[in-house]
């Protein structure tokens, strides 16, 4: 009885720390009955010499193609509708920059609903009449053939082209997906989830499928 009372008081204390304004911004998965989605962004690196990753344009584009094709097959399952892709390339560049910045913020905060949407993201969503929209960033790296064994012998760390992550010991590859849902009604980030796995190729459709299912199931509680 005493333990139950303590837990109840602790719960009330947590609720008291959240203002009524914050509560109106908190989105539950069952409130999301449709989603627009932005073209995925990718930061895939390749290690050619030594243990330093540089961005791979081919790997990044391939990662986008793999993820985009998987999203299309899962549209009905997760109620994904409009593709929010502006025709203006300048707007697209600005959009990608803002999505990247908000994703970095979301990855470091417990209460993502306190992160305000940027102007371009909000404008594009409102122009398409979408309250909720889904954005993805894929991250990770791979190595050229023969590089991995040499670096294991040297024991040098590798800097990843991810959202500020660093791996202190050599690994062969890494695959990551960061998923964010934006809420244009409340003008905030609604939900965030990520998946990061080591020793897996970031453009392997089977790996990406498992990671995509994981982040979407956790965000939307779908099966």
64-107 pLDDT tens trace: 999 999 999 999 999 999 899 998 999 999 999 999 999 999 99
Percent of the residues in the chain that have a pLDDT greater than 70, as a whole number: 76
Task: Give 101 or 160, the one with higher predicted confidence.
Answer: 101
Q: What is the pLDDT of residue 21?
A: 59
Token couple for 217: 């199931």
Cα 194 to Cα 109: distance, rounded to the nearest angstrom: 13
pLDDT, averaged across the chain:
82
Q: How many CB atoms lie within 10 A of CB 117?
A: 20
User: Does residue 154 carry a pLDDT above 50?
Assistant: no
pLDDT digits (tens, 9 = 90+) for 18-43: 566 566 678 888 889 999 999 999 99
Distances from the Cα of 86 to the Cαs of 39, 52, 83, 128, 182, in angstroms? 10, 34, 9, 10, 17
Of the pLDDT bands very low, low, confident and very high (cuts 50, 70, 90), residue 153 is: very low
- Cβ atoms of 60 and 137 closer than 8 Å: no
Cα 58 to Cα 37: distance, rounded to the nearest angstrom: 23
User: Does residue 213 carry a pLDDT above 80?
Assistant: yes
Q: What is the pLDDT of residue 173?
A: 86
Token couple for 70: 């998987």
User: Does residue 177 carry a pLDDT above 90?
Assistant: yes
User: Does residue 164 carry a pLDDT above 70?
Assistant: no
Nearest to 46 by CA among 202, 214, 217: 202
Percent of the residues in the chain that have a pLDDT greater than 90, as a whole number: 56
């Amino acid at each position: 009885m005493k333990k139950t009372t303590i837990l109840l008081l602790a719960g009330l204390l947590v609720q008291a720390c959240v203002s009524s304004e914050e509560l109106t911004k908190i989105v539950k998965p069952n409130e999301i009955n449709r989603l627009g989605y932005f073209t995925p962004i990718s930061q895939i690196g390749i290690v050619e010499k030594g243990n330093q990753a540089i961005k791979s344009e081919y790997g990044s584009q391939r990662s986008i193609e793999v993820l985009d094709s998987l999203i299309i097959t899962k549209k009905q399952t997760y109620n994904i509708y409009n593709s929010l892709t502006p025709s203006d390339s300048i707007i697209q560049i600005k959009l990608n920059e803002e999505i990247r910045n908000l994703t970095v913020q979301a990855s470091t905060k417990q209460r993502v609903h306190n992160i305000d949407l940027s102007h371009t993201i909000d404008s594009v969503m409102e122009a398409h009449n979408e309250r909720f929209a889904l954005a993805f960033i894929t991250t990770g790296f791979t190595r050229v053939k023969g590089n991995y064994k040499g670096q294991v012998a040297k024991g040098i760390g590798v800097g990843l082209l991810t959202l500020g992550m660093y791996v202190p010991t050599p690994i062969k590859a890494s695959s990551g997906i960061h998923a964010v849902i934006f809420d244009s009604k409340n003008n905030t980030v609604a939900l965030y989830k990520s998946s990061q796995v080591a020793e897996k190729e970031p453009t392997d459709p089977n790996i990406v499928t498992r990671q995509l299912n994981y982040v979407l199931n956790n965000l939307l509680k779908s099966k």
